Structures are given as structure tokens and as C-alpha cells.
Amino acid sequence: MRSITLSQAVNEAIAEEMRRDETVFLIGEDVAEAGTPFKVTSGLVEEFGTGRVIDTPIAEPGFSGLAVGAAMTGARPIVDLMFGDFLFLVMDQLCNQAAKAHYMSGGKLNVPMVLRTNLGATRRSAAQHSQSLHALVAHIPGLKVAMPSSAYEAKGLMKTAIRDNNPVVIFEDKLMYQDKAPVPEEEFLIPFGEANILREGRDVTLIGTSSMRQVCEAAAEMLAGDGISAEVIDPRTIVPLDAATLLESVKKTSRAIVVDEGHQNFGTTAEIAARISEKAFYHLDAPVIRMGAMDVPVPFSPALEDLTVPTPEKVAESARRIVAGELIHAL
């Protein structure tokens, strides 16, 4: 199978869906000729024209609001939000308008829009360009949240997102755009709400979203050397969340560590850990551990920034300690 970069995978997904459905369009800053600063949408304007690949002024509330209205009246916009940190700018349009229109109208209005943005630190972009804010939108009923962990998921989840009739926020890890993975040439979609078990194990379940999947996979390798068999699972979407797969795994291993790049407090790890604790309580031989990013704004200095995110070493160490029966406070 051919291997393509995450960037190419997203590009292919969008192009295929735009060919398939003429109401799909792309809107955002520098999405046309520039192809976005990450070059993900390069080539699309040449194929689909400026009528469907629309460059906007720097007006995030404005163009996301436009997307809501366009989606409500028959089009299917993909909004490109250049950095996940700008989510704060679009919260009213996304969370008060898009998320609630279907409910508030008693099911009569729909908002089939996709908001495409990114997450991930360690790029030395500092506090306002490095945040992983998916927990904020996962908290809002009416939104769906997808977190592709490689080029394969990026393509499959993007196509599903575009075809979904609900507002979907999809977060790509901005440090992974050049990372390659095998991606089938034939069309495929990855359904929402289906977690992926990447590695089977018996002693501990490692749950990793987005690029934390690779962190967990690396940790599992390390643990194997210590005679600890770790199961690694990628949830792929946090709303809807495939809790059943996670629970089945934890019931088998009796231990779980949830790894995510959002801040540890009040975030994704807390929600997943709570669900596991509630539903797999009598199967737990250790408390469920959260490993998120440190609860500090992302610092600029490389010496400091790298301390704030979960690493394979930290995950493996936490796993060793809970297998040994210790109570720990991660990070």
C-alpha cells in the first residue's frame, strides 16, 4: 500500500468530497493559492475555483458565522481555522449557533459544517499557537469531535465529517503534517464512535488521542522490555466516544492510563477516566491515571516546552508504577 503524508491525506479527502458533492466548499484564511500555511489545501483552488475555495479576511467569528448560515441553507462548508487556539474567537458561532440550531428548532434546521483546525505543542510557537482545546468543544452538546492520529485516520475521518449532517470539529496535530502512513487508494471512510485497538495487551490499557497514540505505542514497546504487556487504543473520535471498546479492554487488563495533549485538569483525560472508573469500577486493580499536558500556558523556551507534554518515558514509568501497585500523581 502507498504511504502518504497526513497533509496529503487531508487534501485527498477534501478533494474527493468536493468532487462528489458540489455543495461542499472550503473557506478560511489563505486556503486558496497559499494552500494554508501548512500547505494542506494546495491545489484545491486550481481544481475547484475561487467560488468554492474561498480566501477570507482575518475574521474568524465572521467566516465561521457565514459557514453556519451557508450550512443551514443547503451548502456544506469546511471551515479552516488556522490554529486551534483561535477556537476561542469562534465559540459563539460554533457553540451557541451551530451546535444548538438543530435542537432549538426542534429538529428542523441542520448545520452540516466541518471546522478543521489543529492542536499540538513542541513547535516553539508559544502559548497562543500551541493549545489543544478539543475538550472545550467536546463539552458542548450538538458538536462532534474527531482526532485523527495518522494520515490514515485523517483521510477516513475527514470524509465522514464532511458527510455528517451535524457540525463536526476535527483536530489535526500540526506537528504530524509530514508524517507518512499507509493509506488505501480505494475510497474508505472511518465511522465516528469506533476506537482502534493498535496493540493487544494484558497488564495495562494505554489510551492515546491524536499524536499521543504514537506516544503510547512507544511506551508499550518500552514496557514490553520490562515484561509488562500494554494494550494501546486510539479513540479516534471523542464525541461520540467508543466507551465500550475502552471498557472491554480495561476489564481485561484492570488498569488504564489516558494520555491526551489537552491540559490535564478538567479535560479529555478526566472525562475518559471518569467513564472508565464508573463503568469498570469492580474490574480495576489500580486507579485510572490521567496524563495530559501540564496545566501551564505553553512556554516558549524549548527547555521548558518539552517538559509540558506526555512522553513515552513518562507513560511507561506511570505504567510500571501502577502495575507495581503504587499510587501515583502523573506529571
Partner 1 sequence: MPSEVKMPQLGMNQDSAVIVSWLKAAGEKVAAGEAIFEVETDKATVEVEAAADGFLAGIRAPEGADVPVGDVIAMIVDREAEVGEHESAATAPDGPAEAPPTQPAPVPSPAPEPNEAEVAAPFTTVPSAIAAGRILASPLAKRVASEQGIDLAALRASGVSEPIHAGDLARAHAGGLSILSARVEGGALAALLERSEGASRTALFAAFAASAWRAAVEDAAVSIAIRGLDGSITPYPADAGADAALSLIDLCDTRLDSFAPAGGTPALAAAREGDAFLLTLSFNEDRLPFPTAAALLDAIAARVENPIRQLL
Partner 2 sequence: MTAAPKQNAEDYLRMYRQMVKIRTFEDNANQLYLDAKMPGLTHMYSGEEAVAVGICEALEVTDKITSTHRGHGHCVAKGAAFKEMFCELLGKEEGYCRGKGGSMHIADQLNGNLGANAIVGGSMGIATGSALRAKMLGQSDVTVCFFGDGATAQGLMYEVMNMAALWKLPVIYACENNGYSEYTRTDEIAAGEITARADAFGIEAFKVDGQDVLAVNALTRDLVARCRKGDGPFFVELETYRYHGHHVGDISRTYYRSKEEEADWKANRDPITLFADWLVNEGVATKAELEALSKAIRAEAAEAVAYALEAPYPDGSEVSMHVYLEAS
Annotate each residue in 246-265 with x if it binds partner 1 (CB under 8 A) or - if it does not, as one string: --------x-----------
Q: Within the chain, where are the H helices?
A: 6-20, 44-48, 60-72, 87-91, 99-104, 134-138, 151-163, 212-225, 243-253, 268-279, 302-305, 312-323
d(CA 140, CA 118): 18
Q: Is 12 a catalytic residue?
A: no
Residues 132-171 that bind partner 2 (CB under 8 A): 141-142, 144, 164-166
Least distance to partner 1 from the beta carbon of 277, Å? 9
The reply to whether 227 sits near partner 1 by the rule CB under 8 A is no
Q: Which of 16, 129, 139, 317 is catalytic?
A: 129
| C-alpha dihedral (140, 144, 148, 152), degrees to nearest 10 | 180
3-state SS, residue 98: helix
The reply to whether 283 sits near partner 1 by the rule CB under 8 A is yes
Binding residue for partner 2, selected from 104, 274, 304, 324, defined by CB under 8 A = 104
The reply to whether 73 sits near partner 1 by the rule CB under 8 A is no
Instruction: List, in order, residues 6 or more apart from 193 with CB less than 8 Å away.
Output: 237, 240, 241, 242
- Which C-beta is closer to partner 2: that of 92 or that of 313? 92
- Which C-beta is closer to partner 1: that of 281 or that of 303? 281
| Residue 285 binds which entry of partner 2, partner 1, none, CB below 5-8 Å type-dependent | partner 1
Burial 205-235 (b: 16+ CB within 10 A, else e): bbbbbbbbbbbbbbbbebbeeeebbbbbbbb
d(CA 218, CA 225): 11
Q: Which of 60, 217, 271, 305 is catalytic?
A: 60
Binding residue for partner 2, selected from 20, 21, 23, 37, defined by CB under 8 A = 23
Q: Are 115 and 170 in contact (CB under 8 A)?
A: yes
Which helix (DSSP H) or strand (DSSP E) does residue 27 occupy? Answer: strand 24-28
Q: Are 182 and 8 in contact (CB under 8 A)?
A: no
| Residue 72 binds which entry of partner 1, partner 2, none, CB below 5-8 Å type-dependent | partner 2
Stretch that binds partner 1, among 49-57, 129-137, 220-228, 280-288 (CB under 8 A): 280-288
Stretch that binds partner 1, among 18-26, 27-35, 187-195, 283-291 (CB under 8 A): 283-291
Q: Are 115 and 90 in contact (CB under 8 A)?
A: yes
Q: Is 129 a catalytic residue?
A: yes
- Which C-beta is closer to partner 1: that of 186 or that of 281? 281
Binding residue for partner 1, selected from 286, 289, 291, 319, defined by CB under 8 A = 286
- Judged by the rule CB under 8 A, the positions of this chain that interact with partner 1 are 254, 281-286, 325
